[in-house]
Structure 1
Amino acid sequence: MSDAAEIQPTAEQLRAEALHQQGDEADEAGDEERALSLYMQALELDFTRAMTHYNVGLIYKYRGDWEKSRRFNKRAAELAPDHEAALWNLAIAATALRDWTTARAAWKQVGIDVGEGDGPIEGDFGINPVRLNPHEDAEVVWAQRICPVRARIISVPFPESGFAYGDIVLHDGAGTGTRMHNGVEKSVFNVLEPFESSPYSTFQVDVQISCEQDLRELLAACERAGVECEDWTYSVRMICKGCSEGSAHDEHEVVEDPEWKDRRRLGLAAFEEGPVRYLLEQWQTADRRVETFECALEAGFDG
């Protein structure tokens, strides 16, 4: 076919493209409602616009409207089978809806091996940090990924986060920032929403101890009792938003504090309060004591 014989866009298609561009501008300006209205007008003129379907599905993804996100991303992927972002968002929406057939098919289409079967994906996709409540007072914790967008928290989060040790979360597919794990740089994934709560409650404990050996003995006692314990005094550091969503600046590199802190705040995760109180009582001596103890977050997602 010669260049002169190439099919030219119709007037409706040109108008649809203009509406799409206006929708992009509205979305970039933060006016999602106007963006959605313009995108839908574009689709009324030309329903074959894969990118417009994708953009609508993306807005609904971040709103947590999974039915609509699945519908529009599915259409985008049907119109453009090599549209990897649409397939990822289709899989995320399908996962949120427990539509494992659709999720598995989408993952396979982007070349991710999720094994055989037709139920929930339960695999080993590595350890990564996830950002809890990314649009509020964000907290980054470590998690074991069990599928491309689901992960089980393996840290003890602050109770204010509403999340607990062992909770499974649905996270985004694109990394936002990095953290180091055993000398390897790992992407941080933003949590989109809770997926499945764990049976663990979070207990906050303030202890007075004179040396590191006291702490080691408490950690060993927790391990024997099946209680997860995290030394928040040591493990938590505050960094700016720019560092959190990128790679930490030099001034935010972890520097070991040579001065031992006698008063330490610990986060413990356990099924019941009784065993935690018992092990703390057994651990206490004249030189090491529990100053405060509280169940800061009961099992089950907050709110």
Structure 2
Amino acid sequence: MPIRLGKAGKATAFNELGRRRDDEGDQDGALEAYAQASAVHPYWAAPWYNAGLIHKYRGEWAASLQANARAVQCEPDNQGALWNLGIAATALGDWATARRAWRQYGIGIPDGEGPIDFFVGLTPIRVHGDEASEVVWADRIDPARAILRSVPTPACGHRWGDLVLHDGAANGYRMRGDREVPVFDALELIAPSEHGTYEVTIEGVAQEDIDALIRRFEAADASAENWTTSMQVLCRACSEGRPHGEGHNHEPGEPPGARGPWRLGIAAREEGAALRILAEWRETAAPGCVLGELRCLLMGVPRT
């Protein structure tokens, strides 16, 4: 005899079908299956949450908000749905919904009507470009937004000062001092920085001279980073895991000599401003300093 499934059994079967289709890369088919599960059992949170997850990674924010809101209605303490509801609301600028989601999650978000002002701290964010992904340090200004504070390489398509929307699920870990902190993946560029990315090579000076140059840029509403010493290329397993933990080591490459050469990434609004800072610093540098040509790698985006 055929086995007859009740409503709960049918909904579970459709939900599992959606998960299999999603694993196979058929997101449209997965969404169809989740919709069938919800039609059979509209008060079950799981298919709503699963649909919202697909919409999140597609950047379909209105659909993600709707699906996660339904999941929260079905299960008010569903932590994953609450977090993704907050992300979707943040992407849409629906600050009232974002505040309700974060508070229901358990975060003490302040009152207000506009963008949320809730500084979280310095956090590693993985940004993605057409050519490469890169983990950079950023200031989290609320649970789902961060401003990049490293000078990224142009391969990742991002700039110092970019405002990005990011996920809330840890995808790797890094050390900040003696404390381990999670890496979050950027989901979307919210507002590009006005600062372009430049590169210059310098030889004939010591590390402390380069540090002094970096401080000059930081004092002038700009930034600079010694890419020679700050960057390390990791395999995917280490990047999305714990590169500071036990496992295989990644050789840092040939170290620079005591007087370089140094490769600097620079963030500045205008090329002229970067050239002025370099020229002023050059006057105080060692006589043997060799300053390479300043190259623009990625233009900033003027605000309109």
TM-score (structure 1 length as normaliser): 0.89
Residue 289 of structure 1 aligns with an amino acid whose one-letter code is V
Q: Secondary structure at the match of 2:25?
A: coil
In the other structure, the counterpart of 2:102 is 107
Please tell me whether residue 214 in structure 1 is matched to residue 214 in structure 2.
no
In the other structure, the counterpart of 2:86 is 91
In the other structure, the counterpart of 1:229 is 224
- Residue 70 and residue 223 in structure 1: after superposition, are their counterparts in 2 closer, same or farther (change >3 A)? closer
In the other structure, the counterpart of 2:9 is 14
1:232-247, aligned counterparts within 5 Å? 232-247=227-242
In the other structure, the counterpart of 1:276 is 274
CA contact (8 A) 2:129 2:155 kept: no
Structure 1 CA distance for aligned equivalents of residues 185 and 214 of structure 2: 30
CA deviation digits over 1:233-284, x for unaligned, max 9?
1100101100000101351487995843622211111122112112222333
CA contact (8 A) 2:152 2:160 kept: yes
Residue 41 of structure 1 aligns with an amino acid whose one-letter code is Q
Structure 1 CA distance for aligned equivalents of residues 106 and 72 of structure 2: 14
CA contact (8 A) 1:76 1:83 kept: yes
Structure 1 CA distance for aligned equivalents of residues 163 and 55 of structure 2: 22
Residue 169 of structure 2 aligns with an amino acid whose one-letter code is A
CA contact (8 A) 1:134 1:191 kept: no
Please tell me whether residue 117 in structure 1 is matched to residue 140 in structure 2.
no
In the other structure, the counterpart of 2:55 is 60
CA contact (8 A) 1:214 1:288 kept: no
Q: Secondary structure at the match of 1:47?
A: coil
Match of 2:197 among 193, 198, 202: 202
- Residue 223 and residue 94 in structure 1: after superposition, are their counterparts in 2 closer, same or farther (change >3 A)? closer
Unaligned 5+ residue runs, structure 1?
1-8
1:92 Cα deviation (Å)?
0.4
Q: Secondary structure at the match of 2:10?
A: helix
1:116-155, aligned counterparts within 5 Å? 116-133=111-128, 137-155=132-150
- Residue 282 and residue 134 in structure 1: after superposition, are their counterparts in 2 closer, same or farther (change >3 A)? closer
* CA-atom RMSD in angstroms: 2.3
Q: Secondary structure at the match of 1:54?
A: helix
Residue 295 of structure 1 aligns with an amino acid whose one-letter code is C
CA deviation digits over 1:214-241, x for unaligned, max 9?
3233224323433311000110010110
CA deviation digits over 1:159-194, x for unaligned, max 9?
222211111111001111110112111100000011
Please tell me whether residue 31 in structure 1 is matched to residue 26 in structure 2.
yes
Please tell me whether residue 298 in structure 1 is matched to residue 299 in structure 2.
yes
Return 150-159 or 43-52, whichever deviates more: 43-52
In the other structure, the counterpart of 1:159 is 154
Please tell me whether residue 262 in structure 1 is matched to residue 263 in structure 2.
no
CA contact (8 A) 2:123 2:140 kept: yes
Residue 274 of structure 1 aligns with an amino acid whose one-letter code is G
- Residue 265 and residue 256 in structure 1: after superposition, are their counterparts in 2 closer, same or farther (change >3 A)? closer
Q: Secondary structure at the match of 2:111?
A: coil
Structure 2 CA distance for aligned equivalents of residues 142 and 240 of structure 1: 19
- Residue 223 and residue 43 in structure 1: after superposition, are their counterparts in 2 closer, same or farther (change >3 A)? closer
Match of 1:184 among 179, 183, 187: 179
How many aligned positions are there?
293
Q: Percent identity?
A: 41
Structure 2 CA distance for aligned equivalents of residues 203 and 136 of structure 1: 18
Please tell me whether residue 287 in structure 1 is matched to residue 285 in structure 2.
no
Structure 1: 4+ residue segments shifted above 6 A: 253-256
